[in-house]
A and B are shown apart, each in its own frame.
Chain A
Amino acid sequence: GAVVSQHPSRVICKSGTSVKIECRSLDFQATTMFWYRQFPKQSLMLMATSNEGSKATYEQGVEKDKFLINHASLTLSTLTVTSAHPEDSSFYICSAQGEPGELFFGEGSRLTVL
Chain B
Amino acid sequence: AQSVAQPEDQVNVAEGNPLTVKCTYSVSGNPYLFWYVQYPNRGLQFLLKYITGDNLVKGSYGFEAEFNKSQTSFHLKKPSALVSDSALYFCAVKDTNAGKSTFGDGTTLTVKP
Contacts and interface: CB of A to CB of B under 8 A. Distances in A.
Interface of A: 1, 4, 6, 32, 34, 42-44, 46, 49, 91, 93, 95, 97, 100-108, 110
Interface stretch (B45-53, B61-69, B70-78): B45-53
Contacts of A105: 36, 43-45
Contacts, number: 55
Contacts of B34: 101-103
B41 interface: yes
Q: How large is the interface on B (under 10, 10 to 19, 20 to 34, 35 or more residues)?
A: 20 to 34
Interface of B: 32, 34, 36, 41-46, 49, 51, 88, 90, 92, 94, 96, 99-101, 103, 105-106, 108
B43 A93 contact: yes
Contacts of A6: 43
A108 B41 contact: yes
A100 B44 CA distance: 18
A93 B99 CA distance: 18
A95 B44 contact: yes
A107 B43 contact: yes
Given A103-B101, A105-B36, 7 more contacts: A43-B105, A44-B44, A44-B90, A46-B100, A95-B43, A103-B92, A108-B42
A100 B45 CA distance: 16
Given A42-B88, A42-B108, A44-B103, A100 B42 contact: no
A101 B103 CA distance: 13
Given A93-B43, A95-B44, A110-B41, A49 B105 contact: no
